[in-house]
A and B are shown apart, each in its own frame.
Chain A
Amino acid sequence: MLTAEDIRVTLGRKPVLHGVDIAAEPGKMTIVIGPTGSGKTTLLRALSGDVPFLGAARLHGLDIATVKPRKLAPWRGVLPQASSLSFPFTVREIVRLGIREGLPSGESGIVTAALARVDLAGFEGRMYQELSGGEQQRVQLARVLCQVWTPVLEGRARYLFLDEPVSSLDIRHQIQIMDVARNFARSGGGVLAILHDLNLTAMYADHVILLKSGHVHASGAPRDVLTNDNLSSVYDYALAVNRAPGGEAVFVLPHGAATDHAA
């Protein structure tokens, strides 16, 4: 179980998070949304142990602020928004970095399986730096998947922290990667993801956290959080939440666009 209470972060002199409470349950897709600058990435970085914070954040009882990185590593993989690489590694060599030392048997199987899961089967021999941005992002996701390969370890859930995992992907791969994350959750793991796309959020979230200026504006089931009032207020723009005819699917449109179509 991942819980965070009263998380406060100050970057330089600027307070970015003012007391954020969240919980991400195993088996669920917890998705954080909010405008640019609302503190989504800072929240994820705090929970990953990258930036100092005040407040209490725990993953299975481990205090994220003080625990050694090597104790935390088996329990959560982190996919950052952007990745860099300083030397010419092959795709296989990158993905392999996710595997902890000491399990050499089946190593090659895991790498191949992880690449297949992100739709990059056969890319093992390619040079990472020669891939497109979207392909690189999927290679990094495969590496993160290797780190937490079984969603449940010793009876406890492992977590995926994903910062805009689909930002540079085309729509087919957006759906594919979101499916990978949802399958991870359905198999007992936990997922905490930041998304910009409200419609993907509506499709995939079990629990939505809506951030505004470093506060949690709303938190709960998608149908309770994704409302006209909440979204329009947080994004400071008239947004309309619609329901697809004859279905449960929810989609969000800018108000102007929605009325144009209606007219």
Chain B
Amino acid sequence: MTFTEVWSVVRPKTADDGDRSALARATIVVLAAALVLTFFFSLASGASDASAWRVFLETLGFTSGALEGADRIVVYGIRFPRAVLGMLIGGALAVSGAIMQGLFRNPLADPGIVGVSAGAGLGAVSFIVLQGGALAPAAAIFGIYSIPFAAFLGGLISTLVLYRISTRQGRTSVATMLLAGIALGALAGAVTGVLVFRADDRQLRDLTFWGLGSLAGATWTKNLMAAPLILPVILALPLMARGLNALALGEAAAGHLGVEVQRFKNIAILCVAAATGASVAVSGGIGFVGIVVPHLLRLLIGPDHRFLLPASALLGAILLLFADAIARQIVAPAELPIGIVTAIAGAPFFLWILLRRRGILDL
């Protein structure tokens, strides 16, 4: 039995009246609850074994002293900032994928696949390598926000270039988008490589994790670096839903419905670059979350962005916490970069989407 056959049996049937909003709202509630559970299990899981229940009680203040000594330090000093960062990054990756897909009107658009993450990585690496020299004044002004801001700029430039290349008169060519994405990614990777050659040993250590993506070394400082770029995007989601829905009908039709298309696209591109830049800046290139999460949710609750965007944020956060738990345990006491886990799970999924859609895509 193939996956498609299984899916055809278990997939939720569209209600006869075509109204999936009740299903979507229920899904969001379930996901929110699941995220809370996942968060506490994530705090409890790892080499030092604290029970999730004890962590839950302790964190909410019902008991005190249930966690002692080393457990307390591990849970609150190390795992707590890491779990919070995982949620932020997971949500940001999934949401930037969902927005980008809506903007490009294409389910295969994803910052990791079309070179936006590579552009953001180039921005971040440029800053790390050049902060002692050419970019020293910027480092003085932006402080800890320099790297996220550099990554944001890198992501913004690649998104703008990609959009200009692959979209003509409001229509996006899938093939052009994917191919331009490959070229942009390769270019950003090559320039990044040149910069890495110029890096000194200390910088090289900082750079090693860009390639694969990792939540290791998560601190409250990293949360502070990422949050100012990610939280505004999350807060803006309700404002973007109607525009993205209208854009599904095409740019002209969206304009007829009252959407100021050019301004809206600019905002959407800024959101994609901010969320991608922030996550690349603190955790490197974690791939495929942005394509897997919105795609699964569209199968379940449909493409209405009023529900798809918040649900993506929640499921992205859940999946990244899971992937992080796997990354920490599979080769314990060492840990895999989380990007390896998401790629092993996500790349075959991407191929599966391609397989199902290749007739439609005309590739």
Give A residues with C-beta under 8 Å from B. 45, 48-50, 68-70, 72-74, 76-78, 80, 83-94, 97-98, 100-101, 108, 124-127, 147
Contact = CB atoms under 8 A, between A and B. Distances in A.
A87 B248 contact: yes
Kindly state the interface size class of chain B when it binds its partner.
20 to 34
Given A83-B253, A87-B303, A93 B258 contact: no
A70 B258 contact: yes
Interface stretch (B12-20, B40-48, B202-210, B267-275): B12-20
A84 B15 contact: no
A88 B261 CA distance: 22
B249 A69 contact: no
A70 B14 CA distance: 32
B250 interface: yes
Q: Which A-B residue pairs are the 4 nearest by beta carbons?
A: A73-B258, A92-B18, A87-B303, A90-B18
A69 B20 contact: no
14 contacts: A48-B255, A50-B255, A69-B256, A73-B258, A84-B250, A87-B107, A87-B303, A93-B20, A93-B303, A108-B19, A124-B18, A125-B14, A125-B18, A127-B14
B49 interface: no
Interface in B245-264: 245-246, 248-250, 252-253, 255-261
Given A88-B298, A125-B16, A127-B14, A101 B260 contact: no
A92 B245 CA distance: 13
Contact of B248 (A76, A86, A98, A100): A86
Given A84-B249, A124-B18, A78 B304 contact: no
A78 B18 CA distance: 24
Interface in B8-35: 14-20
Contacts of B261: 69
Given A50-B252, A80-B253, A93 B302 contact: yes
B253 A78 contact: yes
Nearest to B255: A69
